[in-house]
Structure 1
Amino acid sequence: MGGIVSPEYRPPEFGRKGEGDDIDVKQLSRELKAATDKVKEFAEDAKGRFEKGEQLSTAAKQSADEALVKFNELSATMTEIEQKLARRGGGEGESERKSVGRLFTEAEDVKSFMERAPSKGSVQFGTKALITSLTTDANGSAGDLIIPDRQDGIVAPPERRMTVRDLLTPGRTSSNSIQFVQETGFVNAAATVAEGILKPQSDIKFDLLTKPVATIAHWVQASKQILADAPMLESYVDGRLRYGLAYAEELQLLKGDGTGSNLLGMIPQAVAYSPPLTVPADATMIDMLRYAMLQAVLAEYPATGHVLNPIDWARIETMKDTIGGYIIGDPADGAAPRLWRLPVVETPAMTVDKFLTGAFKLAAQVFDREDASVALSTDDRDNFVRNLVTILAEERLGLAVYRPEALVYGDFGNVT
């Protein structure tokens, strides 16, 4: 009777070289399954023979013993491999822990490409988790490790250049109002008089005018911690608050309407532009400013400057003659803005398409009651319990327009 003939079988040599060697787990699994099937086949055949009362031959017993020995060797090898993988942290994750360079050199496509004769071509290689600058929870996201290159200081928005105050006569006061006597009417009856004839009488009218001192103020809040931890923030806020005062001050000096706590500015008190001669139909903006100067001169107040919006000054500077040449100077000339011998003051505080021409220092005076100052306080109950600091900036000033006739306010007529 023939026994079980086991095929020639040799268990692979796995797990004998070192901890770092690669292990073909799939191949080992296939080998172990083949050995298991052979043992199972032998067991079923032997059971059938025993039930029939048949005896196993010596060769069959020897083949069965060899199959069992090989099965035990494979099982021991698999157990050893599982222990090694457990110490390393798992099977599937092993490729994820290899470096990109190692994965690249071990890739079969790369090996095949390198073994070919020199030729042109390319090979693609994929990895499971490349390291990127993403900040998500995905594998390989390392963006949170990147530290931004933080620059010192604060990038502030642009600040307007204040110019209106410089036009006026400066002054100081220690009161909350400014009073002055203004001549509001004069009838000049002066004439030659014959001997014994009654002399003519002239009439002069005076008014006592009172102008209030206005307070310009604003404030912000900040925590005590941020002011202590960022010392430059205090000086930055200080500067920005002072700038805010100057910004509001320029608008008040120029356009304040005198209602409520507002100053009465120069424009509401200026006389309207009224050319003292017949104006040609083709009169330009340059012509109109010259006629405004003439109007001031005829009022006995020779003008000392013009106030324009930058848009209107740009219109004037880009005017050209009939052959394309610029009328006002040379574009390459860096001279200060001047027109008809007088300086031109550009400020966005002036309304577009409007102008103010006059003898400013004769016309008006600004009085400082309290210079711009910045104060810090924690006195408020809410501030104290919340560790907040109130930063307050304020100033007090008054404006007296002595001679409204010295100011001429007009419209260029370009904007409907």
Structure 2
Amino acid sequence: MSETKTIHERLEEARVKGAAELEAVERGEGDVTKLKAISEEVTELEATIKAADEARAMFKSMGTARESVKAAEVETPAPAGSLGEQVAAAFVKSGTLSALGAQVQHTRGEFYSSKAPGDPTTTANAVTGNGLTVALTDVDKNVVKPYMLPFSISSWLSSGTLSGNSLTYFVANEWTSSSGRPGVVGENGKKPGATAPAFETKTLPLRKIAGWVAQSDEMAEDAGFLSSLINEQLLDELKKAEEEQIVSGTGTGNDLTGILSTPGIFSEAVATAAAKDVLESMYKVKTKIEAASGMSVDAVIVNPEDIAGIRLATDSNGQYLFGGPAYAPYGNGPFVADLNAFGVPIYVSKAVPPKTVLVGSSKGATVYRKGGVRVEISNNVNDDFLYNRFRVLAEERLLLAVKQPKAFGKLTLK
């Protein structure tokens, strides 16, 4: 039978494992979930030892035989800091961020904790007696986040990087008969001259999208799983703001010039709210785009409020055009979850305003980024240091170049 380890030996072993796992996480090889579990184990062991110390002091004051208990079993050397404190110190020192998801191309700062000042906090129910406090409240750490992006418009479009702070690009105009075009030439006939249409030169500056949240050190130490969730949601909100700018940025002030605000895109108003008219208008705009730009339309993007009218469209026999609740139209095959109209996928995104449909080719525009998403942490703002709080800032610099406006179209619904 193996020798039973003392609680102090278990604590020391957990600290060693935690330090090793922390180093692995900083190298991008460790498991953050495992690290958090070790941190919780260290916290529990430290609490147990503290309770034993209090009990020993109580028995000693009563003059009982408990005074003979070995010091090695009840006394704890002053720790260099809990694992949570070690992790917090490590992320401030390291300035590195690991595994924040596919949408983040570049990162700085380690997400470990987050809580905005003013957010409500609660204390666990507990039973207190004889100097000991026993918590009775269980904690469910699985938090369901609100709306996420089902479709990424920035990922749909072409992507690029740049090293400067602005970009100059050229928009090719359509050749017309008035400028001359190649044609048929007879024997001894003069060959026609052709003049290439002038290119439209555009220069756009980088724009910055940013946001921050303030957190307390206590939240970082006591509820790390909530802290991580808040940090993750900050990145989600940054992504949503980016998508909205790419689609609908006005081009004024610090806004990007979004696709819907770009001069030269096709625009059509749908005559009625009937799904048949909406679908036919989609096809008409698709035809115009492909005829003018030579690019294949590869997406139709609709606001969630408007997708139901399309999905539930029926023919004169009452059959759903996109299939019923369980089967394809007229029972020809199984249920199809992904919508497709005239060979073009239909996606849903809140970035597209209600009563608006965006039709286009992903090759017609490029999202340029400089450095990707930056994440920074600081307690050097105002008097944050005095209040034991810090701030997490997420920001990115990007611009949208719509290199071929005729690759996109806008439908306005009734």
Aligned to 1:272: 266
Q: Whole-Å Cα distance in 2 between the matches of residues 149 and 185 of structure 1?
A: 67
Identity of aligned residues (%): 26
Aligned to 2:214: 221
Q: Whole-Å Cα distance in 2 between the matches of residues 381 and 406 of structure 1?
A: 49
> Does structure 2 conserve the Cα–Cα contact (< 8 Å) formed by 1:162 and 1:247?
no
Indicate the SS of the match to 1:356.
strand
Alignment partner for residue 355 of structure 1, among 349, 354, 357? Answer: 357
Name the CA shift for 1:196/1:286 in 2 (closer, same or farther; >3 Å). closer
Q: Does 1:386 align with 2:378?
A: no
Give the aligned length.
266
The 10-residue stretch of structure 1 (290-299 or 184-193) with the greater mean CA deviation from structure 2: 184-193
Indicate the SS of the match to 1:273.
strand
Aligned to 1:327: 321
Alignment partner for residue 242 of structure 2, among 243, 249, 253? Answer: 249
Indicate the SS of the match to 1:152.
coil
| Alpha-carbon offset, residue 189 of structure 1 | 3.1
> Does structure 1 conserve the Cα–Cα contact (< 8 Å) formed by 2:208 and 2:396?
yes
> Does structure 1 conserve the Cα–Cα contact (< 8 Å) formed by 2:290 and 2:297?
yes
Aligned to 1:191: 183
Q: Whole-Å Cα distance in 1 between the matches of residues 214 and 247 of structure 2?
A: 30
Aligned to 2:161: 172
Aligned to 1:306: 300
Partner amino acid, structure 1, of 2:170: V
Counterpart mapping for 1:391-410 below 5 A: 391-410=392-411
| Alpha-carbon offset, residue 201 of structure 1 | 4.0
Partner amino acid, structure 2, of 1:297: E
Highest Rg: 1 or 2? 1
| Alpha-carbon offset, residue 166 of structure 1 | 2.4
| Alpha-carbon offset, residue 302 of structure 1 | 2.5
Partner amino acid, structure 1, of 2:152: T
Task: After superposition, give the CA deviation of every residue in 1:253-292 in whole Å (9 maximum; x if it has no partner).
Answer: 11111111111111112523359xx99x996211111111
> Does structure 2 conserve the Cα–Cα contact (< 8 Å) formed by 1:163 and 1:345?
no
Name the CA shift for 1:208/1:321 in 2 (closer, same or farther; >3 Å). closer
> Does structure 2 conserve the Cα–Cα contact (< 8 Å) formed by 1:272 and 1:408?
yes
Q: Whole-Å Cα distance in 1 between the matches of residues 226 and 275 of structure 2?
A: 55
Alignment partner for residue 284 of structure 1, among 256, 274, 277? Answer: 277
Aligned to 2:224: 231
Q: Whole-Å Cα distance in 2 between the matches of residues 367 and 331 of structure 1?
A: 41
Partner amino acid, structure 2, of 1:251: E
Indicate the SS of the match to 2:296.
coil
Name the CA shift for 1:151/1:191 in 2 (closer, same or farther; >3 Å). closer
Return 5+ residue gaps in structure 1 as ranges. Answer: 1-144
Higher relative contact order (CA 8 A, sep 6+): 2
Task: After superposition, give the CA deviation of every residue in 1:189-216 in whole Å (9 maximum; x if it has no partner).
Answer: 3234563747434242023211221111
Task: After superposition, give the CA deviation of every residue in 1:8-60 in whole Å (9 maximum; x if it has no partner).
Answer: xxxxxxxxxxxxxxxxxxxxxxxxxxxxxxxxxxxxxxxxxxxxxxxxxxxxx
| Alpha-carbon offset, residue 358 of structure 1 | 1.5
Q: Whole-Å Cα distance in 2 between the matches of residues 339 and 393 of structure 1?
A: 38
Alignment partner for residue 261 of structure 1, among 237, 244, 254? Answer: 254
Name the CA shift for 1:221/1:204 in 2 (closer, same or farther; >3 Å). same
Return 5+ residue gaps in structure 2 as ranges. Answer: 1-133, 327-334
| Alpha-carbon offset, residue 184 of structure 1 | 3.6
For the aligned residue pairs, the C-alpha RMSD in angstroms reads 2.8
Q: Whole-Å Cα distance in 2 between the matches of residues 192 and 404 of structure 1?
A: 31
Q: Does 1:159 align with 2:159?
A: no
